[in-house]
């Protein structure tokens, strides 16, 4: 069951720090406790046990902020040991350097004087019921009796541990319990070392998400070795070979229950029979946040809300449709981020949905899509496609024939069809030529992204609308680009009934042109939202300002924004 977060207390104020030297630091209000273990996994599990003890002490869930090298997590821990992640900030989105030094800022925790640290539990009373004598404590598993035992002695055989894990696989949205000792042993067995941080903690702020992380599990290795009891039926002994040979063949007697056949009236149609196959219910373990961090130690914890939302977007993008779809990216103003929008959307759909994605520069003369993408080792353009149209449209034509006309993007998995790049050329694309090229593109590709020119009165621009299934209108945070986006939508709406429907269902993408423009982008997005189907904001990223674009070179927050934009588009296809 999920933790009732409404009962979670803000006090005591609990922060924790995971260090890369098999130690952890736990602070409860002004009481600090150092944990030393023989592995990072063991230190993590000891930390979890101590936080759970605090929840038991106050008889309510407690909140804790955990800093690790992977980022900053805000957790809720219940009295039964269940842990959920309220929010996670990856280290890429946190102030640099990350992790910050332990003592060098106002927010840093006070360093611990190892000589002045006394051993003892963090609770107000010691294990024997006597009051604790100091505010600062230290515990070490290495000092406990039997700490040198091999991990396999604590958890039994690997097969037994796997059997227990399989019987209690967590479900999405539920808090998960694990045995801390088993986890540390599994970590020691694999030898994996997960880098963690000695960074200080900041106060939990406005980050809101949800996830699931482990807590203590009731089964132990000793329980696995115990004989079957009344709670569990004992296994029946296997018969000997002689018994199997001498045993008479068992036949169903007419007196046995259920042996009487049903009447014709009682029998149902076979087409109504339910399937014997169970619905698949496998949830891929979390890869992000605190749950993802713990999963590096060999657990299988479900993803939190933030990661589930990302997976939902990926699922939308990965769908293949029964026919090709054309997405047109339009804005009558140059410099409105049309080409970066085409490149990144094509990259996201190709990376997550597989091949068959084409980015086509439908500029009436000479566009810039070829400048900002990789060359395929040749100089072919849309004019070469037109010259070979009969060959490419032939019923016997094969997909490989198209490769000499398009420029494959090896990293981002899509193809680029360039516009005419002859600086001395005079050719302008006509409506009929757009029809021919689109027929060829539809034969070889499942998704076609068309990068428009700047003239919404040109033949090729107007014919592009006739082939469009989804409109995307990009703009930057510059006012003239946003105004041009609005005028473009108004012009499209006035063209025809179909065009008006495209305008109403358009997706607007607002890209921040400079750093620290979130207030401007939010205001622009709010202005567009009443008039279109969806609006997505893409944060500033220097990798999009100039030069060739590679989606993998973008910052994590930027890639996540383009994923959200692609999902918004996919929902309209």
Bigger pLDDT: 210 or 550?
Answer: 550
Report residue 93 as tokens. Answer: 């989105």
CA distance 513 to 540: 6
- Whether 208 has a pLDDT exceeding 50, the answer reads no
Q: Which stretches within 355-478 are classed as H helix?
A: 382-387, 389-393, 431-444, 459-467
User: What is the residue whose two structure tokens read 């009487």?
Assistant: 260
User: So what's the pLDDT on residue 184?
Assistant: 39
Most confident of 25-34, 161-170, 186-195, 205-214: 25-34
Digit-coded pLDDT (tens) for 507-521? 999 999 999 999 999
Q: What would the mean pLDDT of 454-479 be, rounded to a whole number? A: 95
Q: Return the SS3 of 47.
A: helix
Three-class HEC string of 116-134? HCEECCCCCECCCCCECCC
Any idea how long the chain is?
Answer: 573
- Whether 318 has a pLDDT exceeding 80, the answer reads yes
Q: What contacts 459, CB < 8 A, 6 or more positions away?
A: 364, 428, 429, 430, 431, 434
Of 458, 447, 448, 567, the residue nearest 509 (C-alpha): 567
CA distances (Å), 106 to each of 94, 201, 457, in order? 17, 11, 60
Contact call for residues 301 and 177 (beta carbons, < 8 A): no
Digit-coded pLDDT (tens) for 538-547? 999 999 988 9
DSSP state of 213: B
Task: Show the CA angle centred on residue 37, arms to residues 31 and 40, nearest 5°.
Answer: 100
CA distance 429 to 458: 9
Q: What would the mean pLDDT of 92-110 be, rounded to a whole number? A: 62
Confidence class of residue 437 from pLDDT cuts 50, 70 and 90?
very high
User: So what's the pLDDT on residue 83?
Assistant: 78
Report residue 116 as tokens. Answer: 């002045």
Q: What contacts 435, CB < 8 A, 6 or more positions away?
A: 463
Bigger pLDDT: 92 or 273?
Answer: 273
Question: What percent of the chain lies above the pLDDT cut of 70?
Answer: 70
Q: What would the mean pLDDT of 368-390 be, rounded to a whole number? A: 94
Q: Tell me whether the omega of the peptide bond preceding residue 350 falls within 30 degrees of 0, making it cis.
A: no
Q: Per mean pLDDT, which range of 97-106, 285-294, 443-452, 516-525 is the poorest?
A: 97-106
Bigger pLDDT: 253 or 195?
Answer: 253
**Average pLDDT of the residues of the chain:** 76
- Whether 227 has a pLDDT exceeding 90, the answer reads no
Question: Read out DSSP for 317-337?
Answer: HHPPPSS-EEEEE--SSTTSS
- Whether 348 has a pLDDT exceeding 70, the answer reads yes
Bigger pLDDT: 215 or 75?
Answer: 75
Bigger pLDDT: 339 or 365?
Answer: 339
- Number of Cβ within 10 Å of residue 6's Cβ equals 6
Digit-coded pLDDT (tens) for 274-311? 888 766 667 788 888 777 777 776 667 778 788 889 99
Digit-coded pLDDT (tens) for 324-342? 999 999 999 999 999 999 9
């Amino acid at each position: 069951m999920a933790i009732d977060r409404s009962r979670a207390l803000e006090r005591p104020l609990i922060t924790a720090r995971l260090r890369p030297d098999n130690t952890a630091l736990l602070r409860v209000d002004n009481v600090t406790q150092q944990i030393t273990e023989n592995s990072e996994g063991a230190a993590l599990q000891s930390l979890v046990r101590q936080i759970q003890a605090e929840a038991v002490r106050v008889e309510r869930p407690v909140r804790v902020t955990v800093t690790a090298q992977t980022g900053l997590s805000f957790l809720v821990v219940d009295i039964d040991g269940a842990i959920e992640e309220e929010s996670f900030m990856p280290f890429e989105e946190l102030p640099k350097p990350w992790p910050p030094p332990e003592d060098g800022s106002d927010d840093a925790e006070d360093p611990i004087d190892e000589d002045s640290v006394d051993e003892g539990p963090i609770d107000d009373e010691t294990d024997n019921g006597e009051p604790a004598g100091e505010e600062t404590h230290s515990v070490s598993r290495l000092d406990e009796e039997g700490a040198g035992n091999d991990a396999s002695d604590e958890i039994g055989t690997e097969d037994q541990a796997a059997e227990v894990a399989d019987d209690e696989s967590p479900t999405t949205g539920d808090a998960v319990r694990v045995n801390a000792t088993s986890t540390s042993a599994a970590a020691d067995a694999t030898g994996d070392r997960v880098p963690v941080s000695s960074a200080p903690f900041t106060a939990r702020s406005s980050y809101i998400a949800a996830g699931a992380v482990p807590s203590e599990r009731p089964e132990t290795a000793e329980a696995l070795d115990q004989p079957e009891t009344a709670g569990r039926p004992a296994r029946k002994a296997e018969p000997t070979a002689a018994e199997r040979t001498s045993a008479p063949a068992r036949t169903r007697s007419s007196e046995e229950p259920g042996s009487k056949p049903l009447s014709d009236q009682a029998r149902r149609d076979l087409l109504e029979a339910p399937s014997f196959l169970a619905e698949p219910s496998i949830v891929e373990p979390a890869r992000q946040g605190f749950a993802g961090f713990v999963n590096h130690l060999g657990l299988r914890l479900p993803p939190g809300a933030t990661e589930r939302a990302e997976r939902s977007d990926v699922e939308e993008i990965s769908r293949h449709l029964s026919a090709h779809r054309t997405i047109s990216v339009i804005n009558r103003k140059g410099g409105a981020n049309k080409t970066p929008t085409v490149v990144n959307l094509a990259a996201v759909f190709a990376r997550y949905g597989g091949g068959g994605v084409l980015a086509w520069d439908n500029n009436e003369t000479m566009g810039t899509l070829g400048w900002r993408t990789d060359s395929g080792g040749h100089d072919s353009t849309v004019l070469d496609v037109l010259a070979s149209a009969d060959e490419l449209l032939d019923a016997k034509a094969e997909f490989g024939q198209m490769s000499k006309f398009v420029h494959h993007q090896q990293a981002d998995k899509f193809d680029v069809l360039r516009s005419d790049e002859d600086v001395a050329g005079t050719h302008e694309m006509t409506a009929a030529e757009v029809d021919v090229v689109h027929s060829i593109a539809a034969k070889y590709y499942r998704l076609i992204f068309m990068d428009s020119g700047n003239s919404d009165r040109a033949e090729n621009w107007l014919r592009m609308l006739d082939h469009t299934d989804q409109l995307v209108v990009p703009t930057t945070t510059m006012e003239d680009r946003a105004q041009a986006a609005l005028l473009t939508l108004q012009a499209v709406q006035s063209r025809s009934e179909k065009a008006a429907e495209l305008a109403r269902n358009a997706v607007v993408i607002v890209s921040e042109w400079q750093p620290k423009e979130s207030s401007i982008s939010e205001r622009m997005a709010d202005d567009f939202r009443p008039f279109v189907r969806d609006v997505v904001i893409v944060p500033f990223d220097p990798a999009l300002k100039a030069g060739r674009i590679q989606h993998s070179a973008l910052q994590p927050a930027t890639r996540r924004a383009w994923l959200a934009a692609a999902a918004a588009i996919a929902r309209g296809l």
